[in-house]
Structure 1
């Protein structure tokens, strides 16, 4: 934190927020931006895990900055919600809004994703329910190792280790991916939302393709 803003560290943050809402003091705004800017990298890093390699982390950060600035302008300290929680929601929304507006999925990845989507749809129609990865791999005629490799190519990322840290909660609680498998109730709701949102963004991007590219 810059020495310039040390005086704000001594103030009650609720009162600081109230002061900013009333005065729009640019020094207070700059202090809040500097203090909470790590949230942008935190959210961008989590989203980057599920994105293709051609989506640059720095780009996600730049998209997220707009969300942080928006959160600072619109945050109401009278509401019973932490700014950190509110800001992470706005940052995440800003990143996904920008991803929806740009053409970021390579054609080869789109084609693989579309093929997989078609197979999953066919199996679900046939079975009348959601199918698991084993059934999908069997239909493709490949092993689970090959199936996971296919997913990796589509996502552009490596599969996480079972012992990797999956998220850091508000109280810095560490939870491994293995623990979320053992008890899905332990999974951070934000992580679930992010994973679902990434899926939706990819599906939406595929739907915008010309028909010849969907096949």
Structure 2
């Protein structure tokens, strides 16, 4: 069956469900797109600790799929799969946040490291090295690296971007830098200012960190895929990702402080 013919059949199902209340058409659509939930769960679980049950992700994701089906505007001729995967992933992230699987101790470590990057990079007007960060925190470089490993999952989860309602709208990349549990820089910074600040901050990242940010958030590669592309271990990619996020958060924090002083 050709793509055009399949698309026509899909539209007929949407019409039958939405316009005629055909329950079987709704069930057919759910069954047709249900594999997307397993696909997203498989990709997301790569960056999560082993304590996270894949079945829980699938359960959270099904709610996202149902939400996507209800909100998708099939009359606009857009690709449902792309829209649904963002909704499914967002539902999984929300579910993990609700069960709060990130220990308080990990959050505390992340906050201290973020503070170190903010202070040192503001003070030196350049990227802080691992030696400088470890000295500021009073720990060895090896301990710092172990801490990056511990908080790498927290960075991916707590910084994940919200899902947009409009399926053809570009997802806001700067929103991933905002920690929802902390005071939000956007309360003092306009979105255009955030974009400009983050654009400059990403440009100034060390090359490897910049590559990780680009591949993870713009090319949507998994951490494992990035490791293969860059020829590094997955644990090293996690470290680079965490460091990049702390630098970007620091850039937003410094800009907010500067604005509040004016």
Shorter-chain TM-score bucket reads: 0.5 to 0.7
RMSD of aligned alpha carbons = 4.0
Deviation at 1:132, TM superposition (A): 6.2
Q: Is the 8 A contact 1:65 1:91 kept in 2?
A: yes
Match of 1:22 in 2: 19
- SS of 2:76's equivalent? coil
**2:220 counterpart of 1:191:** yes
Q: Against the structure 1 CA distance between its residues 87 and 129, is the aligned structure 2 distance closer, same or farther, given a 3 Å change threshold?
A: farther
2:107 aligned residue (105, 110, 125)? 110
Q: Which moved more, 1:58-67 or 1:106-115?
A: 106-115
CA distance in 2, matches of 1:187, 1:96: 16
Q: Is the 8 A contact 2:13 2:29 kept in 1?
A: no
TM-score of the two chains, using structure 2 as the length reference: 0.50
- SS of 1:108's equivalent? helix
Deviation at 1:68, TM superposition (A): 0.0
1:82-93 correspondence runs (5 A): 82-93=79-90
TM-score of the two chains, using structure 1 as the length reference: 0.59
Match of 1:42 in 2: 39
Kindly indicate whether structure 1 or structure 2 has the higher relative contact order, using CA contacts under 8 Å at least 6 residues apart.
Answer: 1
Q: Is the 8 A contact 1:52 1:105 kept in 2?
A: no
Q: Is the 8 A contact 1:51 1:155 kept in 2?
A: no
Match of 2:9 in 1: 12
Count of equivalent residues: 168
Q: Against the structure 1 CA distance between its residues 183 and 63, is the aligned structure 2 distance closer, same or farther, given a 3 Å change threshold?
A: closer
Deviation at 1:139, TM superposition (A): 5.0
Runs of at least 5 residues in structure 1 that lack an aligned partner in the other structure: 1-8, 158-179, 204-215
Match of 1:55 in 2: 52
CA distance in 2, matches of 1:10, 1:81: 11
Deviation at 1:190, TM superposition (A): 6.4
CA distance in 2, matches of 1:67, 1:190: 22
1:59-138 correspondence runs (5 A): 59-128=56-125, 131=128, 136=133
**2:62 counterpart of 1:33:** no
Deviation at 1:83, TM superposition (A): 0.6
CA distance in 1, matches of 2:52, 2:97: 12
Runs of at least 5 residues in structure 2 that lack an aligned partner in the other structure: 1-5, 155-208, 224-240, 250-262
- SS of 2:34's equivalent? helix
